[in-house]
Structure 1
Amino acid sequence: MKNNASKLCAVLSAGVSAGFPALSQAAESGFIADSTATLQARNYYFSRDYSDIRGPEQSKAEEWAQGFILNFKSGYTPGSVGFGLDAIGQLGIKLDSGRGRVNTGLLPVQQDGEAADEYSRLGVALKTRLSKTELKVGELQPNLPVLVFSDIRLLPPTYQGASVVSNEIAGLTLQGGHLTSTSLRNEAGDDKMQAMLGHKPQRQASSDAFNYAGADYAFNANRTTLSAWYAQLEDLYDQRFFGLKHSEPMGDWVFGANVGYYDASEDGKHLIGAIDNQAFFSLLSAKRGGHTFFIGYQAMYGDSAFPRVFANVSPLGNEVPTYEFASADERSWQARYDYDFAALGVPGLVASTRYITGDNVDTGLGYEGKDWERDLDISYAFQSGTLKGLGVRVRNVTARSNYRTDIDENRLILSYTWTLF
């Protein structure tokens, strides 16, 4: 593993040098002085048992893999217009897999049905800054209400294209972008983008253009944020989003609200057919000391399930990494409880449990669809000693449905991040 990590560092260093040949001239500028680099090692075990097969042919997906993620971010060259470079190198290594246990999302699946022994990728983005506006072109990792940064497996996905972020007006963040391809979480190459409706991938069509524009306005001492966004996965769907987030301290309590509304329809050539979806979600929270309580409600309207770019999660209040609760006409409720053990003198230890139940699903099979999910997450980040920086996370999931596959899931994730400079 050390040899593979060293190889990754060398490849990324070479890519950075090749992408910006004038590094020596910028040595005394902010380009070098403000640069940062981190290396994260991520060890990931994933097991998903399909206890009631309703679709997948295999009854179990189980793999174990080691990942390395190297991030480099430069500063900017001096002057009214500054230039810089960001780069990301990723390497995934198979530790355990087997025919009939693939498709966990950790490793690529080869034509022979076996998982690849390793896969890697190097991506570079050039950036320029004028005042408080930044333009990036190249390898991107956007995190937007219409395209969430879905880092939920061994390696994060990336996108290729251009983005602009502007903070010229206090409290107002404007963003826009044009993406042409993606590298999925378990793939090394670039490919066109596909859509999902609810939990179903729409593999019959793809697009090479995802366009988006949005605004977030924070005020009230940054305790309130209003959002408005538009997105288009060309010839597949377009989508609008309006959101409100608010946090209100009251004595020893802090109350929070996260409310959002999506409206989506088919786009252009209608390559995945007609789309009619309106989605509403609300997630309310109350925090006191180490305790945080949540209650959520989510509802789908229209004739279609919720659309999103494959295989991303969304910021829907009741969406979790196993079930989405976003099928056509679905209504769902969530109850969640988090506890931060720092309140008991154990910083770094956090536990979370939640239960979500959904019904009223239009299955198209002549009966009402219902589903529920129970999640338990425990994580610990070592705060001192030789293991400082090591994070351990355990997840256990039970999910049941009368119209899709039942799932029993376990994840164990170990991560360690080095700050190189």
Structure 2
Amino acid sequence: MKSTIHATRTLLSTAVALGCSSQLMAAEGGFIEDATATLQARNYYFSRDYSDIVGANKQSKAEEWAQGFIFNAKSGYTQGTIGVGVDVIGLLGLKLDSSPDRVNTGLLPVQSDGRAADDYSRVEGTLKLRYSKTELRVGELQPNLPVLVFSDIRLLPPSYQGASITSAEINGLTLQGGHLSSTHLRNEAGDEKMQAMLSYVPQRQASSDAFNYGGGDYAFNDKHTSVSAWYGQLEDIYHQGFLGLKHSQPLGSWTLGANLGYFDAREDGKKLLGNIDNQAFFSLLSAKYGGHTFYVGYQGMFGESAFPRVFANISPLGNEVPTYEFASTDERSWQARYDYDFAALGVPGLTSTVRYITGNNVNTGKGFEGKDRERDLDLGYVVQSGTFAGLGIRVRNAMARSNYRTDIDENRLILSYTWTLL
């Protein structure tokens, strides 16, 4: 537990340093005045039961329980033509329950003896420079892009190391670019080279130390409409382009929405994973009325390969969910989803989702058509007042079935609470 004690001391000393520096640096203007600091506690139970197991890993159950702490401190900017600021993130994960036959939930690191670590931690910083409406960031980054989606879906969030630039000098237009050299995975303390996934299969036989990206989003029509164009390159493995359109249209008491996207991916440079050929199209249409929101979606994979992404990220594909991705070679899938916000019934903070997705036409390479389906139930509540105001509770139950990959029954219970320190 020495690393736990060290990490705790580091987080506390960082918070104390921020508080003390407010007395010394108040003259710097916004550096302290605009600073924020939060500490989130996240308690996470995750369980997956596997049946009809496909592949070398015959583990029939993954089940763990862990406690996480996420410390975020963000300074403002110093005065002057070029503003200077610093962000700090501290992460601490603690094992509450696990065993060698139930590891690999993505909550905790797995050691060489097959057991989950008792704890893991990380403290990193980011230097940020701002000129007008343009910002340069160097250090620990958490980009959220169509070609590299931020996937905070386990105990602690992942991150990348590198440099990024964001510019919003033109009204409605946001441009971004960056170079990333390594990644910190969601259940690890250190940095690693980046690997790819093809659909749901990690490609561990090849790795890259460079992910480059560039693109932008343009909002217009009183921000009811936005278009996007992006490019991402996992050097020597694949490169990928993206075009997207989002639109929201009020219509009487209804609000209609559309989210459309197209990806085109090919092999890159040394072709460390061989030839890659994938084109992906998705559409997700919505209709909102009061507390009700209805969705219908279609997603299609084309080309000779499954959808590529950086391990272990999710993607913005319309039919991707945390259990199945519906992004295998040649797959076609449909989604029906219903959300309800109970604030419409006088219960603010309570929300629910039910979703069903079915896919077929998968090229399994085994002489038969692959098919899969998934049903998700989500229920969330944020306490609105009283002693426990701000406490978030989320419950998820998922059932996923396939004739070419492992079946999954999944349950998650997540409790979260955030303290504002500054």
- Scaled by the length of structure 2, what TM-score is found? 0.96
Give 5+ residue unaligned stretches, structure 1. Answer: none
Could you tell me whether the CA contact under 8 Å between 1:16 and 1:87 is conserved in 2?
no
Determine the C-alpha separation between the residues in 1 that align with 2:322 and 2:342. 24
**Structure 2 partner of 1:230:** 231
Tell me: CA distance 1:16–1:384, structure 2 relative to 1, closer, same or farther (3 Å). Answer: closer
Deviation at 1:8, TM superposition (A): 4.6
Please give the secondary structure, in 2, of the residue aligned with 1:100.
helix
Q: Deviations over 1:118-153 (max 9, x none)?
A: 000011000000000000000001111011110000
Whole-Å separation in 2 of the counterparts to 1:14 and 1:188: 19
Distance 1:141 1:18 in 2: 24
> Is the aligned partner of 1:12 residue 2:20?
no
Report what 2:356 is aligned to.
Answer: 355
Task: Please give the per-residue CA displacement for 1:184-217, whole angstroms capped at 9, x wherever unaligned.
Answer: 0000000000000001000000000000001100
Following superposition, the deviation at residue 161 of structure 1 comes to: 0.3
Query: Alignment partner of 1:387: what SS?
Result: coil
Work out the CA distance in 1 between the residues paired with 2:90 and 2:253. Answer: 44
1:375 aligns with 2:376: yes
Counterpart in 1 of 2:272? 271
CA distance in 1, matches of 2:336, 2:358: 9
- Deviation for aligned residue 1:51: 1.7
Counterpart residue number, 2:76: 75
Q: 2:272 is aligned with what amino acid?
A: L
Match of 1:145 in 2: 146
1:2-401 aligned at under 5 Å gives the runs: 8=7, 10-12=9-11, 14=13, 26-28=25-27, 29-55=29-55, 56-401=57-402
Q: Distance in 1 between matches of 2:241 and 2:188?
A: 29
Q: Secondary structure at the match of 1:263?
A: strand
CA offset digits 1:62-119 (Å, max 9, x no partner): 0000000000000000001000000100000000000110000000000000000000
**What SS is found at the alignment partner of 2:343?**
helix
Q: Supply the RMSD in Å over aligned alpha carbons.
A: 1.9
Q: Normalized against structure 1, the TM-score is what? A: 0.97
Distance 1:326 1:26 in 2: 51
1:17 CA displacement: 9.0
How far off its partner does 1:52 sit? 1.5
Which secondary structure does the structure 2 equivalent of 1:384 belong to?
Answer: coil
Partner Cα separation in structure 1 for residue 372 and residue 317 of structure 2:
17
**C-alpha separation in 2, matches of 1:149 and 1:14:** 28
Report if the CA contact (8 A) 2:4-2:119 is conserved: no
Residues 38-78 of structure 1: CA distance to partner in whole angstroms, max 9, x if unpaired? 10000000000002111222000000000000000000000
Given that 2:7 and 2:122 are in contact with CA atoms closer than 8 Å, whether structure 1 keeps it comes out as no
User: Is the Cα–Cα contact under 8 Å of residues 4 and 120 in structure 2 kept in the other structure?
Assistant: no
Provide structure 2 residue ranges, at least 5 long, that are not aligned to the other structure: none
Identity %: 73
